[in-house]
């Protein structure tokens, strides 16, 4: 962890007093402070110098068990230590007033280069070390400023590790390997926090070293262990409402950047049109994640996203069925996360459906109607 000298602290205070953002002040005075912990560690000093609440949060950030920290105005803090949400005791001493939470939210947003104020009341950013921040100010947030922090695991899992902990059932490991090696186009689906991004990072870490992986995200979060990864991130419109660069713009740009793998961190908007078109026009081996409670919900979700881009249901169905080779669904049960289903995307009477190839209950594996077609597509002995 970086420690600021007295002189750096004085300079940081002067920069802040001169109107610099928190991240600018840090970058100017302590450019060596890189990485989430380092930024927050150094930031803690600056924050405490200007009356911040950083030190109060530090024990939570330092706890390796904690994956999520949720601050609900001055009403309380909840954390996830892997077993679901639990309330942190004694929080009333942490933030006595909503204004403290708001000030913290603004500083955290600035530390990851985001603006957060009345004109721009939602911030979504990633710290240099990978920790993700989401913050919403009132009146959008009715209970006071809301801060959500998702910590980044220091160690990124690889496929062997995920197999060892049971996230990839041993009997399905060869299918996951084949999806990657056979350059299938795959969507990883799951509920919030079910481990979609973690599984995708592990899979991308196994991409052959010669390939160029191009990742498009709202804010850079996926960090596979691979030597040739480039990220494109969206940009919000400025106060005048100009300068926005959307996910759709980035997918179009990505196609001209000689990617071997186009990866969409999370598909949640109209960019589904460009993604399906890219995957249908020779960009094979693409991966994306999507929020859905089951594999069978993915078609409805895709149709809804397609509608945002003005696509009719039948166009989404036709494009998704031909572009996507499989949906891999992940599920969380307590602290355990595992692949619970692999399905194929097909059309039935014109409607898009996810047909189960294999379903895993957590203990038992059952093969579904599309197992033969999946194994055939992947060149696996049925």
Ligand X SMILES: Nc1ncnc2c1ncn2[C@@H]1O[C@H](COP(=O)(O)OP(=O)(O)OP(=O)(O)O)[C@@H](O)[C@H]1O
192 to 143, 291, 380: CA distances (angstroms): 22, 7, 32
198 binds Mg ion (CB under 5 A): no
Closest residue to ligand X: CB criterion: 195
Nearest distance from residue 230's CB to ligand X, in Å? 20
Q: What gap in Å lies between CA 329 and CA 343, rounded to an integer?
A: 8
Residue 290, token pair as written in the block: 């999507």
Find the binder of ligand X among 198, 248, 319, 344 (CB under 6 A). 198
Considering only residues 347 to 366 of the shown chain, the ones binding ligand X according to CB under 6 A are: none
User: Could you say which residues in the range 3-62 bind ligand X, by CB under 6 A?
Assistant: none
Residue among 233, 300, 293 nearest 264 (CA): 233
Residue 197 in the binding site for ligand X (CB under 6 A)? yes
How many residues sit in the footprint of ligand X (CB under 6 A)? 16
CB of 265 to ligand X, least distance (A): 8
Stretch that binds ligand X, among 56-64, 161-169, 176-184, 251-259 (CB under 6 A): 161-169
Cα 284 to chain centroid distance, Å, stands at 22
User: What CA–CA distance (Å, rounded) separates 25 from 38?
Assistant: 14
User: Dmax of the chain from CA atoms?
Assistant: 71
Ordered DSSP codes for 191-254: STTSSHHHHHHHHHTTS-TTPPEEEEESS-----S-SSEEEEE-B---TTS---B-HHHHHHHH
Structure tokens belonging to residue 29: 């005075």
Q: Which of residues 162-191 bind ligand X (CB under 6 A)?
A: 162, 165, 167, 190
Contact of residue 162 among Mg ion, ligand X, none (CB under 5-8 Å per partner type): ligand X
**Partner whose binding site includes residue 231, from Mg ion, ligand X, none (CB under 5 to 8 Å by kind):** none
- What are 317's two structure tokens? 């169905």
3-state secondary structure of 155: coil
Nearer to Mg ion, 198 or 319 (CB): 198
269 binds ligand X (CB under 6 A): no
How near is the Cβ of 192 to ligand X at its closest, in Å? 4
Q: Which is nearer to ligand X, 103 or 216 (CB)?
A: 216
Residues that bind Mg ion (CB under 5 A): 196-197
Binding site for ligand X (CB under 6 A): 67, 150, 153, 162, 165, 167, 190, 192-198, 266, 337
């Amino acid at each position: 962890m970086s420690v600021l000298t007295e002189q750096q602290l004085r300079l940081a205070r002067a920069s802040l007093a001169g109107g610099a953002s928190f991240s600018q002040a840090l970058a100017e005075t302590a450019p060596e402070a890189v990485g989430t912990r380092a930024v927050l560690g150094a930031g803690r000093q600056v924050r405490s110098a200007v009356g911040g609440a950083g030190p109060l949060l530090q024990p939570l950030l330092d706890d390796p068990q904690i994956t999520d920290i949720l601050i609900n105005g001055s009403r309380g803090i909840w954390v996830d230590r892997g077993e679901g949400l639990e309330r942190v005791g004694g929080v009333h001493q942490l933030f006595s007033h909503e204004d403290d939470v708001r000030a913290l939210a603004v500083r955290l947003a600035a530390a990851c280069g985001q603006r957060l104020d009345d004109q721009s009341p939602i911030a979504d950013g990633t710290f240099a070390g990978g920790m993700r921040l989401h913050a919403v100010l009132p009146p959008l947030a009715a209970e006071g400023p809301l801060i959500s922090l998702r910590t980044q695991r220091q160690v990124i899992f690889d496929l062997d590790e995920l197999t060892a902990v049971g996230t990839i059932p041993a009997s399905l490991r060869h299918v996951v390997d084949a999806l990657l090696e056979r350059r299938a186009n795959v969507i990883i689906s799951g509920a919030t926090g079910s481990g979609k991004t973690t599984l995708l990072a592990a899979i991308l870490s196994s991409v052959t070293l010669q390939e160029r992986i191009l990742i498009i995200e709202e804010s850079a979060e996926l960090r596979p262990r691979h030597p040739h990864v480039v990220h494109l991130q969206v940009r919000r419109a400025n106060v005048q409402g100009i300068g926005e660069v959307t996910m759709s713009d980035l997918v179009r740009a990505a196609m001209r950047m000689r990617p071997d793998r186009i990866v969409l961190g999370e598909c949640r908007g109209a960019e589904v049109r460009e993604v399906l078109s890219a995957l249908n026009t020779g960009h094979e081996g693409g991966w994306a994640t999507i929020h859905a409670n089951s594999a069978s919900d993915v078609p409805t979700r895709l149709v809804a996203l397609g509608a945002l881009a003005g696509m009719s249901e039948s166009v989404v169905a036709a494009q998704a069925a031909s572009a996507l080779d499989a949906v891999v669904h992940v599920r969380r049960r307590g602290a355990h996360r595992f692949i619970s289903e692999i399905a194929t995307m097909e059309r039935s009477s014109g409607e898009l459906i996810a047909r189960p190839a294999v379903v895993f209950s957590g203990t038992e594996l059952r093969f579904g109607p599309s197992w033969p077609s999946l194994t055939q597509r992947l060149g696996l002995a049925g």
